[in-house]
């Protein structure tokens, strides 16, 4: 069955999701009840109000920052990845397309991504040197929002998303050396792979498969196999097979395992322990926001004491660095160009995992 036809078969799933959206939109002014961990965690309850206030202030900042054309600004211009992450930040707090105070903000962001598809199926908006990042993140967002929108906008998603998924599946099948097989890299034609691009791509495929798209299980399994090829002897994860571990790399490895059928297996537990052992003492550093995004989701999926220990430290680091206008400062090095909206969206996504509003956040 083709991806396109499977989307038709998945109409029932969309109808169910749409019904849930109606229920959610009726209580947009209410705060979703946090589910801090698998068991009561009094040490985290103290953050409830602080986190909710910080997230609400951040979303107000993002809404004011959106341009008239729907783009969320960065030094990269019309970058669909930045816009997609901002859209998901609103969804993560329980806001929905077309409803409530941010309904049109979300719709405009979705429309930017839908209108940015190139003839080859890529969702990149303004071309970049590494378009697979933007493409995978944008595909993830469209998959997450599918079923929440109007019939007219859903029709557009149904036309765009299958082509976007095809780009990911075709790129995964490019002939590569054995350790690199199953992964993704900067270009859809790249003959090697890295854990960074592969993490986003695997999340997009996992989300689409959850939503009913015809994503072969073999594609998920091949992606996980590549992720494990990046596993290091000390339980971290490397950028590419044979390399050394890093904060963002290990967090990516953890989340991929947790979302793709390896919940709490030996490698996932090892990665969580590596993350706790190497927690940054302060805000900032190379790929800080990248680490924040993956580590928060991965540790929440793992749950229990791992989440409690991580979240306590994470909240203290992130909350104290929010600026007066509700934003977080732009990152350093490679995370400088994506800008303040990117940094703010990532911070919101990290702190809102407990609300379980995005489908990909579900355990």
- Tell me the sheet residues that pair with 117: 123
Q: What share of the chain is helix, strand, coil (3-state, %, to 5)?
A: 60, 5, 35
Confidence class of residue 42 from pLDDT cuts 50, 70 and 90? Answer: low
Digit-coded pLDDT (tens) for 134-153: 999 999 999 999 999 999 99
Q: Per-residue pLDDT for 33 more than 70?
A: no
> Per residue in 190-243, pLDDT tens?
999 999 999 999 999 999 999 899 999 999 999 999 999 999 999 999 999 999
- Among 20-34, 36-50, 74-88, 224-238, the minimum mean pLDDT is found in 20-34
Q: Rounded to whole angstroms, how far apart are CA atoms 96 and 205?
A: 22
Confidence of residue 282 (pLDDT cuts 50, 70, 90): confident
How far is residue 84's CA from residue 107's CA, in Å, rounded to a whole number? 11
Give the 3-state secondary structure of 159-213.
HHHHHHHHHHHHHHCCCCCHHHCCCECCCCCCCCCEHHHHHHHHHHHHHHHHCCC
Q: What is the pLDDT of residue 25?
A: 40
Identify the three-state secondary structure at position 185: coil
CA atoms within 13 A on the CB side of 31: 14
204 with 139: CB under 8 angstroms? yes
How far apart CA 344 and CA 65 sit, in angstroms, is: 11
Mean pLDDT for 315-320 is 94
pLDDT in tens, 90-104: 999 999 999 999 999
pLDDT value at residue 125: 79
Percent of the chain with pLDDT over 90: 76
* Fold category of 3-28+44-361 in CATH: Glycosyltransferase (1.50.10)
Residue 11: the pLDDT is 44
Q: What is the mean pLDDT of residues 343-356?
A: 95
The torsion of the CA quartet 316, 274, 200, 358, rounded to 10 degrees, works out to -50
Query: What single-letter DSSP state applies at residue 34?
Result: P
Question: Distance (Å, rounded) from C-alpha 116 to C-alpha 79?
Answer: 9
Asked if residue 141 lies in contact with residue 113, where contact means CB atoms within 8 angstroms, the answer is: yes
Average pLDDT over the chain, rounded to an integer: 88
Question: How many whole angstroms separate alpha carbon 344 and alpha carbon 322?
Answer: 9
What's the pLDDT band for 334 if we cut at 50, 70, 90?
A: confident
H or E element that contains 24: helix 11-25
């Amino acid at each position: 069955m083709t991806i396109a036809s499977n989307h038709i078969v998945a109409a029932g799933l969309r109808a169910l999701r749409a019904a849930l959206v109606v229920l959610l939109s009726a209580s947009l002014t209410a705060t979703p009840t946090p589910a801090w961990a698998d068991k009561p965690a009094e040490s985290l309850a103290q953050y409830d109000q602080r986190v909710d206030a910080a997230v609400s202030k951040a979303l107000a900042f993002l809404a004011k920052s959106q341009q008239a054309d729907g783009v969320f600004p960065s030094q990269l211009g019309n970058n669909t990845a930045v816009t997609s992450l901002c859209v998901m930040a609103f969804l993560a707090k329980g806001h929905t397309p077309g409803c409530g105070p941010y309904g049109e903000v979300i719709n405009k962001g979705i429309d930017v991504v839908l209108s940015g598809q190139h003839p080859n199926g890529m969702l990149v908006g303004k071309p970049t040197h590494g378009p697979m990042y933007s493409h995978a993140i944008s595909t993830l967002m469209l998959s997450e929002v599918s079923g929440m929108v109007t019939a007219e906008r859903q029709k557009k998603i149904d036309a765009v998303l299958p082509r976007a998924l095809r780009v990911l599946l075709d790129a995964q099948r490019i002939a590569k050396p054995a350790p690199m097989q199953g992964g993704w890299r900067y270009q859809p034609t790249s003959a090697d792979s890295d854990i960074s691009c592969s993490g986003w791509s695997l999340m997009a495929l996992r989300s689409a498969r959850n939503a009913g798209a015809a994503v072969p299980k073999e594609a998920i399994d091949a992606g996980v196999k590549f992720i494990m090829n990046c596993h290091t002897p000390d339980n971290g994860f490397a950028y590419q097979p044979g390399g050394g571990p890093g904060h963002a790399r290990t967090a990516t490895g953890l989340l991929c395992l947790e979302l793709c059928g390896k919940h709490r297996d030996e490698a996932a537990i090892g990665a969580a322990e590596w993350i706790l052992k190497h927690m940054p003492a302060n805000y900032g550093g190379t790929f800080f926001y990248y680490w924040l995004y993956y580590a928060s989701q991965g540790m929440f999926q793992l749950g229990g004491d791992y989440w409690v220990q991580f979240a306590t430290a994470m909240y203290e680091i992130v909350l104290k660095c929010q600026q007066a206008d509700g934003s977080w400062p732009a990152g350093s090095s490679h995370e400088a160009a994506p800008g303040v909206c990117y940094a703010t969206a990532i911070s919101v996504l990290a702190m809102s995992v407990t609300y379980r509003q995005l489908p990909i956040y579900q355990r």
